[in-house]
Amino acid sequence: MFESDATTRGVRVQVRSVFVPERSSPEQGQWFFAYQIVITNSNAEQVQLLTRHWIITDGNGSEEEVKGPGVVGEQPLLEQGQSFEYTSACPLGTSVGTMRGSYHMISQDGEEFDVKIAPFTLGEKSSVH
């Protein structure tokens, strides 16, 4: 089950996060979370992901912004109906936090637009029961 699901201009972004205890050291104030993302293009034309923008908020309300080209070293080009799936990770100084953001994309005809990544929780307790 996805924890975050948003569609902007025919591009759907679904996110699921999980706590990674083996990479975490709570006694040293370090919690590690992995998140899986599926980006699906339902437009009639291809779109390409150019950049990412994340806002990461820890349990104390401190925010960190992360901006950069592509995702996991790629700038995927998605044809109609295609999906791109990847997994990344985020360390936090608290046992809970949130992430939200956007992908900057370009359509086949050269129009640039932002695709929303709806907020999702980073938490020590798994959402899968």
Q: Can you give the pLDDT of all 129 residues of the chain as single tens digits?
A: 679 999 999 999 999 999 999 999 999 999 999 999 999 999 999 999 999 999 999 999 999 999 999 999 999 999 999 999 999 999 999 999 999 999 999 999 999 999 999 999 999 864 433
Contact 9, 115 (CB under 8 A): yes
Residue type at 123 in one-letter notation: G
Tokens of 36: 């899986």
CATH code for the part of the protein at 4-123: 2.60.40.1470
Query: Residue 1 in 3-state DSSP?
Result: coil
pLDDT on residue 124 = 80
